[in-house]
Amino acid sequence: MPADTLSRVFFALADPTRRDMVARLAEGDATVSRLAEPYRMTLQAVYKHLGVLEDAGLVSRPPGPQPRSVRLETDAFNLLDTWIERYRRQAELRYRRLDEVLAAMNEPDRDGAEHGEDHGDGHRG
Amino acid sequence: MAKIMETAIEADRGLPVIRITRDFAATPHQLFRAHTDPALFAQWVGPSVMSTRIEHWDARTGGSWRYLSAHDGAEFGFHGCFHEVRQDRIVQTFTFEGDPDGVALQTLWFEDVGDGYTRLHAQSLVDSFESRDAWLASGMETGVNEGYAKLERMIADGAL
């Protein structure tokens, strides 16, 4: 997923009304008028929110009998999770290197030469 | 308390924030040192294919830092300020010089969870969702395989 698509996904989900719409669509498809019911806004405003969600690939309105239903596209969420998982793995690798550094701090006979002159004491605390 | 031995991450969907949590077999003071001693910090901050050169480092409240990461002849600069430096908590800014207008506010704190373990909490707040996505997207391909190779060496050496 290109970065600008991910930006659209995050942007779309930054709005509480759109998050609420997504949460409700997770329970099942709904028509626009049904989706609009709980909100104090014009149908036009609801369509605008849906447009943002559609641009981000989070929802679609597949062709079919009128009025068409709005459907949640779960693939978009999986892609988002994939990006976050990759970032998480990178952080994990960084922290495994930190594990190694911390383990070296525990070695009592370490002379500290590798760590610079300030830390000849090897370990404190 | 259950240990978090694998990095846990949360990308807040309502705020441009990334939160990371992980436990280490170390004292809070050791984690503090690993984040504030430049010689120690340089050993783990970057993938081992990158060499990290600390240009400037003053890990005190009101201090600042800058380091360069080099790989295949390309150098990337990073700098920021230490807003608050305490034994249990570090607040600092972070800028990648390739995107000089972008700045993240990083808050780190060290929580003693007992049994010789300390939990690192790292929260990064950026100025837009676009910036956060760029963070999530950046440098993901570097160092995954060589990272695991390094881990195997660490286990073999008894470092883990």
Domain hosting A25: range is: 3-73
Contact A116 B39 (CB under 8 A): yes
- A25-to-A6, A104, B126 alpha-carbon distances in Å: 20, 52, 30
Q: How far apart are CA B133 and CA B102, in angstroms?
A: 12
Nearest to A3 among B8, B133, B150 (CB): B133
Contacts of B136 in chain A (CB under 8 A): 6, 83-84, 86-87
Q: Does residue A28 belong to the interface with chain B, where contact is any CB pair within 8 Å?
A: no
ipTM of the complex: 0.72
Residue with tokens 């300020």: B81
Nearest to A10 among B29, B133, B139 (CB): B133
pTM of the model: 0.64
Tell me the per-residue pLDDT of A71-120, one tens digit each, with 9 for 90 and over. Answer: 988 777 676 677 677 778 888 889 999 999 999 987 765 444 444 444 43
The distance in angstroms from the start CA to the end CA of chain A is: 46
- Report the chain B residue with the minimal C-alpha distance to residue A93: B147
User: Considering the domain boundaries, does residue A110 fall inside one?
Assistant: no
| Residue ranges of domains in chain B, CATH in brackets | 8-156 (3.30.530.20)
Tell me the per-residue pLDDT of B10-53, one tens digit each, with 9 for 90 and over. Answer: 877 778 888 999 999 999 999 999 999 999 998 888 776 678 89
Contact A96 B150 (CB under 8 A): yes
CATH of the domain at A12: 1.10.10.10
Number of domains in chain A: 1
Tell me the per-residue pLDDT of B78-115, one tens digit each, with 9 for 90 and over. Answer: 999 999 999 999 999 999 888 788 889 999 999 999 99
The alpha-carbon gap from A2 to the nearest alpha carbon of chain B, in Å, equals 9
Q: How far apart are CA B58 and CA B80, in angstroms?
A: 11
